[in-house]
């Protein structure tokens, strides 16, 4: 399937590569959380030197076919593209995905940084984007790495939080296998706190990286949210709960990609009507623009500058009470904030309510670790990604890192570099 897609779009990809100006001041690279050398990899694409292009991306990322598909490019690399000032930006995401797919299809190897085997062992807890990247960077530098994963497959949010229509599992599986093939050991179906504890790993390993994510949906704190039929968007995507949507009405609250993903998934499962309710204006939605447009094309309705203030029902959801909002500039606020318009309340019938207004770590696990936490309940780390325990480092959503795959991956990479520095300093002491 990958090969067919690649052959189909090769001519188009070449045109899109030629559109890049090859700027000496690489604003696109500055806009990329991973710092990908975008103009250089595209320069190789122009010359049809795809393996060299792949290796350029591997200098900063091991998730190119994934980031090329699901990153919010318009607010990152493409949003900083010089071409975008007077026209359309370079299609950086498509080019990255193409090169990443080429790496899978042609079996290009992810290059090692060092062939020297280090006598140090690191445990990586969690096989999501942060954990996969940390593990890859460590083993590429000669360290022995074991990933502890609670499921029977790696991927984390990539597997359990992003629908198939946005990220094909064939692509995900093959890219993860490339990473494992670097020599990483994996302990599957091992849950932290159930099958092992942090203290035991501290005795067995020279360092530990925590990348267990934060996939518990935040509550809104409104009346009626405890009723049957109120769900969290993260849980619906991760656990694929067996809910009957056919012919039903659903309200999804939120404006990020989780809201788009849950709404589009539910619509595909047969819901009669899906409404996304967002308290700000459309232009303020954090979701990727292409995801918003796709949702509209699929028949999902949007209620902007609207807030759900109450869920109504006897035992189960029957209705929601909403109120219109206006955007007001307040002193000390970087952007306009939504303020309820008194008297604009209205009622909507609905069968289910899905809250996609943010996520948080699983409190039971986080508190059991004995690590210092932030005021928001995230694991507290210093500038070197170290926690309050000497050998334990952390990154990704569990630390409150910006919730995109690229930012999670970057934190895993930088934490790996900090771990290496820590281990090398230990050798000299």
Domains and CATH numbers, the chain: 2-105 (1.10.1060.10), 121-214+361-428 (3.50.50.60), 217-359 (3.50.50.60)
pLDDT at 288 (0 to 100): 87
Beta bridge partners of 87: none
CA distances (Å), origin 72, targets 9, 33, 285, 393: 22, 11, 12, 27
Taking the C-alpha atoms of 11, 13, 18 and 23 in order, what is their torsion angle to the nearest 10 degrees? -170
Cβ–Cβ < 8 Å for 250, 354? yes
DSSP 8-state assignment for residue 230: E
DSSP 8-state assignment for residue 87: S
Cβ–Cβ < 8 Å for 192, 148? yes
Q: Could you tell me which residues come within 8 angstroms of residue 210 by beta carbon, excluding any fewer than 6 positions away? A: 125, 126, 369, 379, 387, 392, 393, 394, 395, 398
pLDDT at 312 (0 to 100): 98
- DSSP sequence for 113-131: S--PPPS-EEEEE--SHHH
* pLDDT tens-place string over residues 280-321: 999 999 898 899 999 999 999 999 999 999 999 999 999 999
pLDDT at 3 (0 to 100): 45
Beta bridge partners of 412: none
Residue where the block lists tokens 């991927």: 155
Nearest Cα to 418, choosing from 368, 378, 382, 364? 382
pLDDT at 401 (0 to 100): 76
Residue 81 Cα to chain centre, angstroms:
22
pLDDT at 191 (0 to 100): 93
Residue numbers in the chain where pLDDT is lower than 50:
1, 3-4, 8
Cβ–Cβ < 8 Å for 404, 128? no
Q: In 134-170, which positions are buried (b, 16+ CB within 10 angstroms) versus exposed (e)?
A: bbbbbbbbbbbbbbbbbeebbbbbbbbbbeeebbeee
Going by DSSP bridges, is the β-strand pair 392-394/207-210 parallel, antiparallel, or unpaired? parallel
Nearest Cα to 270, choosing from 203, 190, 352? 352
Residue where the block lists tokens 């190789």: 44
- Helix count and strand count (H, E) for the chain: 15, 16
pLDDT at 4 (0 to 100): 46
Reading the block at residue 163, the tokens are 């629908």
Coil, strand, or helix at residue 303? strand
Nearest Cα to 211, choosing from 286, 145, 279, 120? 145
């Amino acid at each position: 399937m990958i090969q067919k897609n690649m052959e189909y779009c090769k001519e188009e990809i070449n045109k899109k590569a030629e559109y890049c100006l090859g700027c000496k001041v690489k604003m696109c690279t500055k806009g990329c959380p991973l710092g990908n050398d975008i103009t250089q990899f595209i320069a190789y694409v122009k010359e049809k030197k795809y393996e060299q292009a792949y290796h350029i991306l591997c200098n900063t990322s091991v998730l190119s076919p994934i980031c090329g598909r699901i990153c919010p490019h318009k607010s990152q690399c493409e949003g900083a593209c010089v071409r975008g000032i007077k026209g359309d930006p370079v299609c950086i995401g498509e080019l990255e995905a193409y090169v990443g797919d080429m790496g899978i299809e042609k079996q290009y190897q992810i290059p090692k940084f060092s062939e020297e085997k280090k006598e140090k062992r690191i445990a990586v807890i969690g096989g999501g984007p942060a954990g996969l990247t940390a593990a890859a960077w460590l083993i590429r530098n000669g360290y022995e790495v074991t990933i502890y994963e609670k499921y029977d497959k790696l991927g984390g949010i990539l597997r359990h939080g992003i629908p198939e229509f946005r990220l094909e599992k064939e692509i995900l599986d093959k890219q993860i296998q490339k990473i494992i093939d670097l020599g990483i050991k994996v302990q599957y179906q091992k849950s932290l706190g159930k099958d092992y504890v942090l203290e035991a790993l501290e005795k067995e390993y020279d360092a530990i990286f925590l990348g267990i994510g934060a996939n518990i949906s935040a509550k809104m704190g409104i009346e009626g949210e405890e009723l049957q039929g109120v769900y969290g968007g993260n849980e619906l995507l991760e656990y694929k709960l067996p809910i009957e949507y056919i012919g039903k009405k659903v309200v999804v609250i939120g404006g990020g990609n989780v809201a788009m993903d849950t709404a589009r998934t539910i619509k595909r499962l047969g819901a009669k009507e899906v409404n996304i309710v967002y308290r700000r204006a459309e232009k303020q939605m954090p979701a990727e623009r292409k995801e918003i447009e796709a949702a509209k094309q699929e028949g999902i309705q949007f209620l902007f500058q609207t807030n759900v203030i109450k869920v109504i029902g006897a035992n189960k959801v029957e209705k929601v009470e909403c109120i219109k909002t206006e955007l007001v500039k307040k002193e000390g606020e970087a952007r306009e904030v939504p303020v309820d318009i008194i008297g604009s309340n209205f009622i909507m019938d609905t069968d289910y309510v899905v809250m996609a207004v943010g996520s948080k770590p699983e409190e039971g696990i986080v508190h059991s670790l004995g690590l210092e936490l932030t005021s928001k309940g995230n694991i507290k780390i210093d500038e070197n990604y170290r926690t309050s325990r000497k050998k334990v480092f952390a990154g990704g959503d569990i630390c409150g890192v910006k919730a995109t795959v690229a930012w999670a991956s970057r934190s895993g990479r930088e934490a790996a570099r900090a771990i290496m520095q820590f281990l090398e300093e230990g050798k000299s002491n």
